[in-house]
Each structure stands twice: as C-alpha cells, then as structure tokens.
Amino acid sequence: MIVPDRVRERALRLADALPAYVYDMSALDRHASAVRRALPGVEMYYAVKANPDPALLRALAPYADGYEVSSIGEVAHVRSVLPDARLALGGPGKTDAELALDVHRVHVESPGELRRLIAAGRPRGGRLIDAARPPGDRLIDAGRPVDALLRVNLDVPVEGASLTMGGGATPFGMDPDGISECLELLRGQNRVRLRGVHAHLASGLQAGELLDLAKAVMSFGRELEAAEINLGGGMAVSYTDPEERFDWEAYGQGLAGLRRPGETLRVEPGRALTAYCGWYLTRVLDVKRVHGEVFAVVTGGTHHLRTPVAKGHDQPFAVLPTGRPSRPSHPGHPGHPGCTSPGVIPGTPVSGGRQGTSPLPRGVTDELVTIVGQLCTPKDVFARRVLTSVNVGDIVAFGMAGAYAWTISHHDFLMHPKPGFHYLT
C-alpha cells in the first residue's frame, strides 16, 4: 500500500522510537467532510467504539450531529472532550447507572430494559446517586421524559456481512413481538417518550446492500409511525484493497430517495470514518527462516493492533527500507495480476538475495513473509505469507489502523512498553 509522504517522513523521524501510532488528521478531515457532503438531510452520529481518541472526536465535531456511545465510561469520556455533544446510548446490557444518564437518545434493547428505564429516575428528592457513576456525569432529571428508540432486529437477509447483529436470533435488539411488548409498556406512562426505531443489523456491507436493509427498517418504522429512524452503521471497509472506499454518494442519494417529509434519518458510521487515518509503525527486529518459512519479527504486536486477529485478515502494510542499501524496485505480487503486493511500495529499494536460499544475515528479497510481533503466542500475527522484501532495521507501516485497533487490544499482556501517539495536522 502507498504511505503518504507526511506519514513516511514522520516514520523516519520516529525510527528509534517505535512502535508508535500516527494519525493523519488532515486526511481524516477531508474524508469526514466528503462523507458529510454525501449525506444531505441525514443525521450522522459517530460510533465512538471505533476509536475514542480525543483528537479524533474533536476532528469529527464539525461533521457529526452527535456521538453513539455504549457505556458509562464512553459517556464520561466524550463529555470530558465535548461537553455539549449529543449522545445516543446503545449497547445490549445497560446498567441502572447507565439508564440514569442524561443523554439525547437511549436505544432500548429489550422489554426488560424498558421496564427498568421506566422505573429509573425516581429517587427521593429528585436526584440519582450511584457509586459506579464517574464523577461529573449528568443525570436525568426525574421529572423529565427520556427520549428513546426501540432497537429492532428484523428477520431479513444479511448475506455477505462481515458481522451480523440482526437478521435472526442474536442478543441485539428485539423481534417484532418484543417491539409489541414495548409498545404496551409505553402506554399510560410519561417517563419514556418513544421517538422512533433503531437498527444495526450487519457490518461490512456495500451501499446497495445497506439501502436494501434501510428499506426494510423504514417500512417497519413507518408501521409504528416512527418520527426517527436510525439505520446504524455497517459501511464496508476493505482491508484487502486499502484504496477502496464505501460509495457514500450512492448511499446518500439512495437515502434521499427513501426519506419522506418529516422523517428524521440517522446513520452511525464508525470504522468507515476513521480506519483510513491511522498508521501503526513498527521496526523489524529479526528476520529468520524456520522449516522453510520466513518470519519477520517486529517491535510491538497485536497487543497494540488487534485488528488482524479480531477480523482474521492480513493487515495491509508497506515496508520502508531503512535497514538496507538501495537496489532496484520490487515487482508486483504474481498472485494478483496488475496489483502490487500489500507489503510493497512501488519503487521501494530492496536488498539482495535469492528466493529459496539459506537465511540471509539481515533479510530476504521477494519472498513470502509472515510478519509477527513480540508476543509469546502463535496468534501474534499481522500478516501471513505476503510477498515482500524485508531487512532487519526496516520500518513496517501498517495502514488502516484508525478504527478498532488500539482500544480493542490487550495492552498489558507481557507488559511491553506502550506505543507513542502522534498527530499530523
């Protein structure tokens, strides 16, 4: 994959201080601005779980109508960064303390959760106290209604999705019977005010597929006379083709054609907003051949970037040849005609060597290489058997590390040093 010049320059400056994360904030701003323009008349909430880094939250503020949060910790965190941001609270297992938080919308996951929400906020004196609540969190005024959306899990096809949260029996949301039970609970009370429906049925879908789901969700919502319809996220992100992007223009045009006057449509992208701006930079410690297979061991590991393990893919990367002399450029991957190997930059100098020979003192050229980290587990793998050239001392820049990366990783395993974090503005 191609490393932007500004990221490459920072990588070279950080060569002796790796591993490190680098966020290209200008690239994030351009991307978020383009997404916002493609969705006229549609509200966009950022799914904080994708990456809650404060700098990213601030960068998205001009384009996001709000933030989707899933815990009391995320609420407190976003409030500390953006005190006045609109928050929508989701998640399948909310505590009583979370149900008592003052947020713009609550996504109700079950009849049982709705019963607790209706019963919440009725303390003596009109104030809630909870020892589990982070200091400074705003609590719901016991006399003010809570605005809620019912999360629906429709029995609709979700083929081709990378993750499925709906379309059948899952822990997320309610089937139509559960929705009907909630409607009965809402009658005759004034604690919870029904605003509409929410659905996040699947992830990893293209624009046309998401529009098909949107039609089903909107049809269901209209049967309930829902004023608000939250379609969730799920926009496809390709780790095999880092240059590919979700077709936001087609999605926005499709939603514009589906939306009726007076309806509020909302989407909640996460990965598809921030994945592209993040880079995890490492340096090669060792290159070795074991039973004929070549392994490059880099600083850091999947305890910093868990994405390839969590999704079961090869993390796209490029090798910056800081540990070798200049030689001719690397050819494309023969298994992908017309393409360049994910581990190669066109024009990258490579070291000498011949495929199939005994291990070289410092590295290999044009060989299938598995890139691993420093952890004492065979699962610590970034990419398997990718054609590339790599030497001890080279920098390996893993792209698409801006979402579900650092914060989903098991940082303290083996107690290696934490990476640095750097922001290119």
Of 418, 422, 409, 361, the C-alpha closest to 382 is 409
* Catalytic status, residue 376: yes
The per-residue pLDDT for range 28-62, each reduced to its tens digit, is 999 999 999 999 999 999 999 999 999 999 999 99
The per-residue pLDDT for range 88-115, each reduced to its tens digit, is 999 999 999 999 999 999 999 999 999 9
For 32, the token pair is 């978020």
Contact 25, 305 (CB under 8 A): no
CA distances from 421 to 17, 19, 329, 424 (A): 11, 9, 31, 10
Global pTM value: 0.86
Of 371, 370, 367, the C-alpha closest to 387 is 367
Residues β-bridged to residue 388: 367
**How many CA atoms within 13 Å lie on the side-chain side of 254?**
17
For residue 171, cis peptide bond before it (omega within 30 degrees of 0): no
Q: Is 31 exposed, middle or buried (0-12, 13-18, 19+ CB in 10 A)?
A: buried
Per-residue pLDDT of the chain (425 residues; tens, 9 = 90+): 899 999 999 999 999 999 999 999 999 999 999 999 999 999 999 999 999 999 999 999 999 999 999 999 999 999 999 999 999 999 999 999 999 999 999 999 999 999 999 998 544 333 333 434 554 456 555 568 999 999 998 877 667 656 555 556 677 789 999 999 999 999 989 999 999 999 987 778 899 999 999 999 999 999 999 999 999 999 999 999 999 999 999 999 999 999 999 999 999 999 999 999 999 999 999 999 999 999 999 999 999 999 999 989 999 999 999 976 654 333 333 333 233 334 443 333 333 333 444 444 689 999 999 999 999 999 999 999 999 999 999 999 999 999 999 999 999 999 999 999 999 99
Of 182, 277, 339, 376, which one is the catalytic site residue?
A: 376
> Left, alpha or beta for 68 (phi > 0: left; psi -120 to 50: alpha)?
beta
